[in-house]
Chain A
Amino acid sequence: MSMTRREFARLLGMAGAAGVLPATGFAAKKQPSDLYEIPKSGNVRLLHMTDCHAQLLPVYFREPNVNLGIGKAYGQAPHLVGDKLLNHFGISSGSLEAHAFTYLNFGDAASRYGKVGGFSHLKTLVDRLRQDYGSESTLLLDGGDTWQGSGTAFKTRGMDMVKATNELGVDVMTGHWEFTYHQEEILNNIKVFNGEFLANNVFVTEDALFDGADEYIFDEDSGHVFKPYSIKEIGGARIAVIGQAFPRTKIANPARFIPDWTFDIYDNEMQALVDKVRAEEKVDAVIVLSHNGMDVDLAMANRVSGIDVILGGHTHDGMPQPTTVKNATGQTLVCNVGSNGKFLGVMDLDIRDSKVQSYNYRLMPIFSEILPADPAMAKLIDDIRAPHMGWLTEELALADEVMFRRGNFNGTFDQLICNALMDVNNAQISLSPGFRWGTSVLEGQMITMEHVLDQTCLTYPETYVRPMKGSELKLILEDVADNIFNPEPYLQSGGDMVRVGGFDYICDPMQPIGKRISEMTLDNGERIDANKTYTVSGWATVGSQSEGPIIWDVVADHLRDKEVARIDKLNTPILKNVGNNPGIADYAKMES
């Protein structure tokens, strides 16, 4: 069953009357419309989602106020925050869209407009956008990070999300966190997945070929573990979709789960593949479904020519419009559609005479109060959650302020995690990874086990406590900082700066590796000594499995002791040389 437009309009009317919609801005300007109305254009509609991190239900998600661009990325999308982002894309402040795309006035706006995302709401929108356009002229593409990020994904080893994406009707996907299950589990999930799992940049190791990997891999001669691309005939056009999995998977995540596979970015091979599908498969358009991250996609779009559109993910950048990149033979559109199920990208292409003539793009926020739930999807989600409800719904403590993660440095929820590690594991210092997933909790809302799982749930959740010299600590901070702030995108790995507890530091992102971090100082004012040893606790070790308790139990233990979760001190660094950077706003600790 799907909704008619009239029903949508009626709901919008009701929503407006109930104060759900703003009186000004985007929705008001484009009245009488319906927020989700798109005039039909072109002959091919690509629906693009990415990085939902297994969020089946609607969530709150605060966009960053720190997302620095260094080098060529300075002041460019996606490294714009707050008003800078609104101005760049011509979005009025105070509008519903401004709330969707920025952190501005987050707490109030989130209470007013309600939660975002949720698969049953997304399903309603997807069905409508497909039916309006003619389903046979549409494709639904999922950029990955779909099977990880929730308690139910953890318990079912990603299978809950395979079922949900089947119900949603995903045609093509690629991956990153999918590779944090064991090889056999991944292959098994893909068998159950109704769409195609594509990756042109995942190869089998030669050692594994000796051990029988040829039995299951896609192409023994090329070494491709998965099908690299797929040809789709839709809307009278012939389209190649190439999958690009996250190239740094074995660096950013444990290699031990996927010992037989190897990942990278291969510009020459990508160029050869694009040339080949154009010459041999006679396609009218080439689309890359990518998990490179937006900075890497922008660089790749410049180095490789012949790609019409890169539908990108990984860096969780909700960009209202694509960036156009010029290259040797033409141009490539680079999109990125945020995270946590908050957005759906809609790319309508006019493809005629073997060429993309024009495009029309919209990034649609999924407002769950406006889009009704699809009953079949809602039922599936209920069934998935039912066995785990006792675990998920336990109330732990009241949030004293908005608890969030996303941003280059510690968010409030990160600080809770860091404090919990120091408290429960008796450590002087704590470290927590700068993941970009993790939902937000509003001030006055009860933090539940499910919220803690949203922030911590992965397949290597053990914590550690170990002695570490000041010099080692500095080395870790420098190394991670270089993964974000290296001006060369191919040398970045995505993710944000490691979160810290128990000490502060100064960070100068403009410096090279080894020179960004200085003046590491414990909360008691004592300077960290390179030769002195400290007790450090952390989690999510990629090298080998740690011995300590599971991170979500550590955080829950810490919160259960309190009625109210309060942040007394945020261990964010003092930043140097970024005062004028359009990728930072409302940040207190800055030195010029």
Chain B
Amino acid sequence: MSINRRSVIKAIAASGALVGASVLVPRIAMAAWTQSAFKAEDQETAMQELLGGTAEESAEVTLKAPDIAENGAVVPVTVRSSLANVESMSVFVEHNPTPLVVEFIIPAGTDADVSTRLRMGKTSKVTAVVKAEGKLYSASKEVKVTIGGCGG
């Protein structure tokens, strides 16, 4: 017997509620330090404040995001990495008023595979940064946000 998809999602949601408090949200202890990153108004500063450096592009980071957003208010993105010993995964939207959207802290032994939804006001480059063994790796993709209409 296989568990159906809905049960799996519900199970994940339930465990997320428990686990999330400790690891899946920015750590409260770090709040003072990350606040400056989340409030930074340009991507470079945000990345510097959060991760203390700039990332290099890597094929071992996969960023899945739509070419065109169906709804800019909830743009689904998935970040995966095949790198060993991933410590954190964060997502930046360059043209958002505050580019840093989220940082996931990845506990040791956890698959580096996260999904979330971004809010985007306009077309922008989206960048995922993975921190592994102290180094920073990234993948980027432009996501188009359009006013819509005019289908053929």
One of B1-9, B28-36, B46-54, B89-97 at the interface: B1-9
Q: A210-B6, A210-B9, A210-B10 are in contact. Are A263 and B149 (CB under 8 A)?
A: no
Query: CA A434 – CA B149 in complex, angstroms?
Result: 9
| B27 close to A (CB within 8 Å) | no
* Whole-angstrom distance between the Cβ of B21 and the nearest chain A Cβ: 21
B66 close to A (CB within 8 Å) = yes
Q: Which residues of A contact B9 (CB under 8 A)?
A: 206, 209-210
How many angstroms from the CA of A252 to the CA of B2 in the assembled complex? 38
The answer to whether B108 has its CB under 8 Å from any CB of chain A is no
Tell me which residues from 305 to 344 in chain A have a Cβ below 8 Å from any Cβ of chain B. 314-316
Please state if A250 and B152 are interface contacts (CB–CB under 8 Å). no
Q: Are A293 and B152 in contact (CB under 8 A)?
A: yes
**Cβ–Cβ contact B4 & A220, under 8 A:** yes
Say whether B151 contacts A253, CB under 8 Å: yes
| Chain A stretch 462-508: residues in CB contact (< 8 A) with chain B | 475-476, 479-480, 482-483, 490-491, 493-496, 498
Chain B residue at smallest Cβ distance from A472: B147
A483 and B2 alpha carbons, distance in the complex (Å): 43
B67 lies within 8 A of A490 (CB): yes
Q: How far is the CB of B71 from chain A (nearest CB, A)?
A: 7
Q: Give the chain B neighbours of A494 by CB distance below 8 A.
A: 151-152
Verify B68–A491 contact, CB threshold 8 A: yes
Given A210-B9, A220-B4, A250-B71, decide whether A491 and B144 contact each other with a Cβ distance below 8 A. yes
Known: A264-B66, A490-B67. A314 touches B152 (CB 8 A): yes
Interface of chain B: mostly helix, strand, loop or mixed? loop
Closest CB in chain A relative to B141 CB, distance in Å: 12
Is B151 a contact partner of A543 (Cβ separation < 8 A)?
no
Contact of A220 among B6, B71, B150 (CB under 8 A): B6
| Bound CA–CA A214/B10 (angstroms) | 13
Q: Which of A220, A437, A542 contacts B5 (CB 8 A)?
A: A220
Answer yes or no: A546 CB below 8 A from chain B CBs: no
B82 CB, min distance to chain A CBs, angstroms: 16
Check A252–B67 contact: CB distance below 8 A. no
> Which residues of A498-535 are within 8 A (CB) of B?
498, 513
Question: Is A436 among interface residues, defined by CB-CB distance under 8 A?
Answer: yes
CA distance A4 to B2 in the complex (A): 56
Taking a contact as CB atoms closer than 8 A, the residue among A206, A263, A495 that contacts B152 in the complex is A495
Q: Are B5 and A223 in contact (CB under 8 A)?
A: yes
* Nearest B residue (CB) for A492: B68
B148 touches which of A210, A434, A496, A543 (Cβ 8 Å): A543
Q: How far is the CA of A315 from the CA of B152 in the complex (A)?
A: 7
CB-contact partner of A246 in B66, B70, B71, B151, under 8 A = B151
- Is there an interface contact between A221 and B10, defined as CB atoms closer than 8 Å? no
The answer to whether the Cβ of B146 comes within 8 Å of any Cβ in the partner chain is yes
Q: Would you give the shortest CB distance from A296 to chain B, in whole angstroms?
A: 10
| With contact pairs A210-B9, A251-B70, A264-B66 given, residues A496 and B149 touching in the complex (Cβ less than 8 Å) | no
Contact check, B67 vs A433: say whether CB atoms are below 8 A apart.
no
The answer to the question of A536 belonging to the interface, with a C-beta cut-off of 8 Å to chain B, is: no
Given contacts A490-B67, A493-B68, are A252 and B151 in contact (CB under 8 A)?
yes
Scan residues 31-83 of chain A and give those whose CB is less than 8 A from a CB of chain B: none
Q: Which residues on A sit within 8 Å (CB–CB) of B152?
A: 252, 293, 314-316, 435-437, 494-496
What are the interface flags for A390-417 relative to B under an 8 Å C-beta threshold, 1 for contact and 0 otherwise? 0000000000000000000000000000
A542 cross-chain contacts in B, Cβ below 8 A? 148-149
Q: Mark B118-149, 1 if CB is under 8 A from A, else 0.
A: 00000100000000000000000000101111
Asked if A249 is at the interface (CB within 8 A of a chain B CB), the reply is yes
Min distance, Cβ A213 to any Cβ of chain B, angstroms: 9
Within residues 529 to 566 of chain A, which ones have a CB less than 8 A from any CB in chain B?
A: 540-543
The answer to whether A249 and B151 have CB atoms under 8 Å apart is yes
- Chain B contacts with A in 53-85, Cβ cutoff 8 A: 66-71
Most central of A252, A265, A541 by chain B CB within 10 Å: A252
Chain A 170-184 interface mask (CB, 8 Å, partner B; 1/0):
000000110000000
Inter-chain CA distance A543–B70, complex, in Å, is 12
B144 contact set on A, CB distance < 8 A: 491
Across-interface contacts of A246 in B (CB, < 8 A):
151
**Contact of A252 with B66 in the complex, beta carbons under 8 Å:** no
16 pairs, A vs B, C-beta closer than 8 Å: A206-B9, A209-B9, A210-B9, A220-B5, A246-B151, A251-B68, A251-B69, A252-B152, A264-B66, A293-B152, A315-B152, A479-B146, A480-B150, A483-B146, A490-B68, A491-B144
A residues in contact (CB < 8 Å) with B: 176-177, 206, 209-210, 214, 220-221, 223, 246, 248-253, 255, 262-265, 293, 314-316, 433-437, 475-476, 479-480, 482-483, 490-491, 493-496, 498, 513, 540-543
Known: A220-B5, A498-B150. 12 other contacts (CB 8 A): A176-B151, A248-B151, A252-B151, A253-B151, A263-B70, A479-B147, A480-B147, A491-B68, A495-B150, A495-B152, A496-B150, A542-B148
